[in-house]
Amino acid sequence: MSSQEFQHVTVLLHEAVDGLNVVSDGVYVDGTFGRGGHSRLILSRLGEKGRLVVFDKDPQAIAVAHELAARDGRVSVIHDGFSSFQTALDGLGIGQIDGTLFDLGISSPQIDDGSRGFSFRFDAPLDMRMDTTRGDICLRMVDVGG
């Protein structure tokens, strides 16, 4: 599935990024990359020496993040949840950050894609995993618990 197949409008985009008070040579973390709305705005405010580290569990979001990183060397992509924040930053040699943003929850592409198993609008297996390459689907966990 291409990154352009599902569109997502970032809610409170400017309000969230304005709250970071981005400095041009700063280091920032987008802990929930999604489709990159916040990240793109952060990058537009960073100078050449600024850095942005993005995290996401969703393979589709990570594909979009890699597209962005291929065009912009200031971006580092981590395919993992933000629980690996400290380990990942240590691995990148980053000891201090200037700001972080977490836009928690599911995104419209996850709901709009029936195969993801987040939406009640589609007749599809109950999956509900942010990372479809790891872990067990929700349906199996519910069946075992029931």
**Residue 86 maps to a domain:** yes
Q: What is the CATH number of the domain that holds 63?
A: 3.40.50.150
Q: How many domains does the chain have?
A: 1
- What digits encode the pLDDT tens for the residues 11-37? 789 999 999 999 999 999 999 998 899
**Residue 27 maps to a domain:** yes
Write out the two tokens for 121: 């609008």
Q: What is the pLDDT of residue 12?
A: 87
Per-residue pLDDT of the chain (146 residues; tens, 9 = 90+): 344 445 667 778 999 999 999 999 999 999 999 889 999 999 999 999 999 999 998 888 999 999 999 999 999 999 998 889 999 999 999 999 999 999 886 666 656 665 655 556 656 666 655 566 665 554 444 445 55
Q: What is the pLDDT of residue 2?
A: 42
Residue 117, amino acid: G
pTM: 0.74
**Residue 81 maps to a domain:** yes
Q: How far apart are the C-alpha atoms of 71 and 85, rounded to whole Å?
A: 23
Contact 8, 109 (CB under 8 A): yes
Q: How far apart are the C-alpha atoms of 13 and 1, rounded to whole Å?
A: 25
**Residue 57 maps to a domain:** yes
Structural domain boundaries enclosing 93: 13-106
What b/e string do you get for 101-129 counting C-beta neighbours within 10 Å, with b at 16 or more?
Answer: bebeeebebbebbeebbbeeeeeeeebbb
Q: What is the pLDDT of residue 28?
A: 99
**Residue 38 maps to a domain:** yes
**Residue 140 maps to a domain:** no
Q: What is the pLDDT of residue 9?
A: 72
- DSSP-assigned letters across all residues of 56-124: ES-HHHHHHHHHHHHH-TTEEEEEB-GGGHHHHHHHTT----SEEE---S--HHHHH-GGGS--TTS--
CA distance readout (Å), 60 to 2, 65, 110: 8, 9, 9
**Residue 125 maps to a domain:** no
Q: Is 55 helix (H, G, I), strand (E, B) or coil?
A: strand
**Residue 91 maps to a domain:** yes
